[in-house]
Amino acid sequence: MPSSTDRSTDRTLHLAVDLTDAGAHPAAWRTLGSQARQLFDAERLQDLVSTAQRGTVDLVLFDDAFSLQPGHRGGVQGRLDAALVAARLAPRSAGIGLVPTVTTTHTEPFHVSKALATIDHASHGRAGWQVAVSTGTDDAAHVGRRPAPDLDAAWAEAGEAIDVVSRLWDSWEDDAEIRDTATGRFVDRDKLHYVDHDGVHFAVKGPSITPRPPQGHPVVVVRGDSDAALAVAAEHADVVRVRATTLEQARGLREQVRAAAAAHGRNPDDVIVLVDLYAVIGPDRASAQARLDLLEGLAGVSWDTDSYTHVGTDRDLAATAEEWLLAGATDGFTVRPSSLQTDLVALVDGVVPLLRRAGMYKSEYSGSTLRDSLGLARPANRYAAAIA
């Protein structure tokens, strides 16, 4: 049975949806209804976010990198800038979290902090940051500043980057803006703080030029795809994405993340663990399988996701979600629709109503920020707290 301190006991599932490309399957863009000619059209992304919002999905993610998508020939190639996409969608959405991928390798924490704070302001507190690293030689050549690091070095740098970015978010106290037209004082300079970070990878003085984000800190998301990434996630992440093919494997990873977070002095319940779930949803299992067979025929290769893959009905998927949540295997799922247009609608109109009926999923957003939706507290400002 789950312990009394385990997040699974509240029977509330969290859902994220990855809106990258035309879907998780590399051949999805070749199918009818994929809107292949609109893949780089912001209106298409706005429609997808509206659909996810209708299902009270906690957050949507937009992937990004310094190079073209990996994988076999025939997949989607090319990307829009994820942070700019999120900024455009911010005033055109409500309730739902907007989480772009921003890579820490070959970038500066000052620019990262400013971009994400801007999205948080534009969305009134619904920004997140999916942290990524780059270890490819092509990526390094594109930027042209230094050689590519190895994986452990890249994640060590990422951990320091997250710390610096959060310090820059704190460099303005919440009430630093005075805006007193009578005296001409716009800010209280005593409430702007130098971060004075001098570390292994970065030396940053601060303060930021952007006021503190509405959430204090936008939600930090880390994919736990390696031991190095999991170590950074346990110390810094609000949401940790993991890959697991079985309930037992997922439960073991969740316990590992929670134990590592506790070792860093964090409350494990402040770390949300989401399992990547690849979805092919149909009116019956045979139809779902037939659609997957079609996609694999177009791609010419078998679809290997390295995580749980659902090929079946909305009812089966809702039952799986309930089983994994109550077993303490996960706090929810990052759903990766095989075909965005088809499987996102099936998730929102089929799976979500079943979860709501079971009392496992919200019918409306709680509060106005992404932290509200996830049940995460707003972080205190470290500089204001130190003065107090």
User: Mean of the pLDDT values across residues 69-90?
Assistant: 87
Cβ atoms of 72 and 66 within 8 Å: the answer is no
Residue 360 CB: number of other CB atoms within 10 A? 18
Whether residue 246 is predicted with pLDDT greater than 80 in this model: the reply is yes
pLDDT in tens, 125-170: 999 999 999 998 888 888 888 888 999 999 999 999 999 999 999 9
Instruction: Name the phi and psi angles at 185, rounded to 5.
Output: -90, 115
Tokens of 282: 């149909």
Structure confidence at residue 66 (pLDDT): 84
Q: Give mean pLDDT, residues 213-229.
A: 97
Rounded CA separation 378/374 (Å): 11
43: tokens are: 């209106």
Residue 93 marked as a ligand binder: no
- pLDDT over threshold 70, residue 1: no
Higher pLDDT, 387 or 222: 222
Would you place residue 9 in the very low, low, confident or very high pLDDT band (cuts 50, 70, 90)?
very low
Q: Is 138 marked as a binding-site residue?
A: no
Residue 126: helix, strand or coil by DSSP? coil
| Amino acid present at 61 | L
134 marked as binding residue? no
Collapsing DSSP to helix, strand or coil, 274 comes out as strand
pLDDT of amino acid 72: 61
| Cis upstream peptide for 147 (omega within 30°) | no
- CATH fold label, 14-374: TIM Barrel (3.20.20)
Provide the token pair at 279: 């979805």
What is this structure's pTM? 0.94
Q: What is the pLDDT of residue 32?
A: 78
Predicted local distance difference test score (pLDDT) of residue 6: 46
User: Could you report the per-residue pLDDT of 290-335, keeping only the tens digit for each?
Assistant: 999 999 999 888 899 999 999 999 999 999 999 999 999 999 999 9
User: Mind listing the pLDDT tens digit for each residue in 185-209?
Assistant: 899 999 999 999 999 999 999 999 9
pLDDT tens-digit series, residues 252-291: 999 999 999 999 999 999 999 999 999 999 999 999 999 9
What per-residue confidence (pLDDT) applies to 386? 74
| Helix axes 227-236 and 151-170, enclosed angle (nearest 10) | 10
Q: What is the DSSP letter of 347?
A: I
User: Tokens for 53?
Assistant: 């919002």
Amino acid at 52: A
Q: Mean pLDDT across the chain, nearest whole number?
A: 93
Segment 217-231 shows an average pLDDT of 97
Contact 314, 350 (CB under 8 A): yes
Closest of 131, 130, 133, 129 to residue 151, by C-alpha: 133
Nearest to 49 by CA among 100, 103, 124: 100
What is the end-to-end Cα distance of the chain in Å, rounded?
42
Q: What pLDDT is stored for residue 73 in this prediction?
A: 65
**Model pLDDT for residues 10-50, shown as the tens digit of each residue:** 569 999 999 999 899 999 988 877 777 788 888 899 999 99
180 falls in which pLDDT band (50, 70, 90)? confident
